[in-house]
């Protein structure tokens, strides 16, 4: 594993962390034993940053609970990032956050599920949180109480991140970025770098597209991607799938998963990637990016593709 410094906090974090959304059941049925084995494999590989959220789960369990149980006795060895604000979204019943005390209640619930008395990075899970004062007041209180160490926001909008940081305390922005979605590269990512704000890259494999395992005949039954089966979302899926094939040609025989992650690690504005893994084998495919050969020619080929070449 390679590590880098988390700006503003000084934490040493792995350049590839672990996103835990896939362990909550929303991406398909979760085998608890395999999920625990995946977390154990991550720890053995030197992954010390785990990102989750209170909304990651089903009635059968949550990724926070699974993570908390697995980390018992080892909590001090890792950094935990979790989020609040989207509880119940997948069930069509999001719990509204209208007062700082609601954020505090969400925090206490996450602390309980995680079996810990502090959260390293607590994030607003609303990509457009409106006026951020409510969240900033809540986070300040939680920091004074020692329940959180740092705070941030998960958003893909530069204006939202700027508003969230206007008092100067935002430690991290979690954003969607991949080789089939490079919009953040020209705005949000360089702004975060200029402000010394850490970036956690979610979706670096484009919800599985950049593993190269899908075809035009693929269909989806999980909660997250089932919309890809029809209409405009299906058309977008097929368009991105064609782009994946062009990327496969640039990879020139190198594993596509590792190639997609290695490309993002070449951006100095990227602090850490948080792909999701649902098995030890998937995690190994991702960690292969750390040793993947890379050259200026790769950067040039990707730049030409992004520019329409």
Give the chain's domains with CATH numbers: 3-209+258-296 (3.20.20.100)
- Counting as low any pLDDT under 70, the low residues of the chain are 26, 58-61, 90, 308-309
Identify the pLDDT of residue 308: 67
The structure tokens listed for 108 are 């206490």
Assigned token pair, 168: 């100067």
Active site residue 56: yes
Q: Measure the CA–CA gap between 243 and 229, rounded to whole angstroms.
A: 18
Q: Residues 208-238: pLDDT tens digits?
A: 999 999 999 999 988 889 999 999 999 999 9
User: What dihedral do alpha carbons 58, 63, 64, 67 form, nearest 10°?
Assistant: 150
pTM to 2 decimal places:
0.94
């Amino acid at each position: 594993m390679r590590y880098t410094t988390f700006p503003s906090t000084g934490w040493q974090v792995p350049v590839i962390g672990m996103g835990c959304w896939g362990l909550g059941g929303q991406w398909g049925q979760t085998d608890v034993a395999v999920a625990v084995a995946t977390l154990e494999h991550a720890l053995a590989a030197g992954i010390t940053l785990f990102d989750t959220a209170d909304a990651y789960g089903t009635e059968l369990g949550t990724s926070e609970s699974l993570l908390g149980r697995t980390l018992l006795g080892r909590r001090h060895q890792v950094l935990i990032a979790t989020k609040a604000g989207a509880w119940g979204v997948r069930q069509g019943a999001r719990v509204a956050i209208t007062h700082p005390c609601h954020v505090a209640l969400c925090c206490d619930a996450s602390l309980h599920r995680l079996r810990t008395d502090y959260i390293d990075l607590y994030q607003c899970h609303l990509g457009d949180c409106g006026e951020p004062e409510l969240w900033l007041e809540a986070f300040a209180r939680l920091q004074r109480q020692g329940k959180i160490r740092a705070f941030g926001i998960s958003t893909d909008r530069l204006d939202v991140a700027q508003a969230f940081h206007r008092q100067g305390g935002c430690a991290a922005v979690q954003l969607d970025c991949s080789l089939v979605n490079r919009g953040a590269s020209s705005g949000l990512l360089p702004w975060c770098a200029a402000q010394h704000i850490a970036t956690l890259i979610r979706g670096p494999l484009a919800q599985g597209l950049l593993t190269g395992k899908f075809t035009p005949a693929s269909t989806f039954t999980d909660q997250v991607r089932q919309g890809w089966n029809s209409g405009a979302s299906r058309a977008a899926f097929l368009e991105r799938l064609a782009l994946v094939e062009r990327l496969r040609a640039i990879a020139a025989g190198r594993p596509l998963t590792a190639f997609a992650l290695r490309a993002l690690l070449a951006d100095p504005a990227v602090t850490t990637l948080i792909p999701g893994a649902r098995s030890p084998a998937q995690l190994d495919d991702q960690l292969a990016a750390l040793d993947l050969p890379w050259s200026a020619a790769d950067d040039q080929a990707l730049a030409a593709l992004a520019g329409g070449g």
